[in-house]
Amino acid sequence: MAKGDLVNVYKKEMELAKKAGLTEILEERRSKSSKQEADEEVSAPPTEVVTFEISGIEVLDLDDAVNVLWREKVYAQSGMGCTGPVVMVSEANSEKALEILQKAGYVSED
């Protein structure tokens, strides 16, 4: 670490990240998180067998994505798939869940 001058490299990278808007992104994320925590507690809809995986959701957003689906009365679970974090729903609710998550900004339309 000393040979690679890690401390100075870290400082330079943080300066560049802050110039690129890192602070604003983090603040936006914190305020969004706080707002969702302030919302009323959401209870899970009746349990269903979940076999359809929706990938591409940031691991830190998994619980929020599941709560968004629960608010719309779609049962979902979070988990880890072969390639990373996933939200799992029933086959019957797969299209509806994708639509809800797209509108909420958790997954892209591709």
Query: Are 46 and 83 in the same domain?
Result: yes
pLDDT at 57 (0 to 100): 92
Query: Are 3 and 34 in the same domain?
Result: yes
Q: For residues 90-98, give the mean pLDDT.
A: 97
Query: Are 34 and 69 in the same domain?
Result: no
pLDDT at 45 (0 to 100): 94
pLDDT at 39 (0 to 100): 58
Query: Are 4 and 25 in the same domain?
Result: yes
Which range of residues forms the domain containing residue 35?
1-39
Query: Are 16 and 47 in the same domain?
Result: no
**Residues 83, 55 contacting (CB under 8 angstroms):** yes
Query: Are 56 and 107 in the same domain?
Result: yes
Query: Are 46 and 35 in the same domain?
Result: no
pLDDT at 29 (0 to 100): 72
Active site residues: 82
Give the count of beta carbons closer than 10 Å to the beta carbon of residue 106: 21
Helices 62-71 and 94-104, packing angle to 10 deg = 110
Number of domains in the chain: 2
Q: For residues 51-77, give the mean pLDDT.
A: 94
**Residues 62, 33 contacting (CB under 8 angstroms):** no
With cut-offs at 50, 70 and 90, classify the pLDDT of residue 37: low
Tokens representing 79 are: 């988990």
The answer on pLDDT for 106 being more than 70 is yes
Q: Is the dihedral of CA 70, 74, 80, 85 positive or negative?
A: negative
Query: Are 77 and 48 in the same domain?
Result: yes
Which residue would you say has higher pLDDT here, 68 or 41?
68
The answer on pLDDT for 28 being more than 90 is no
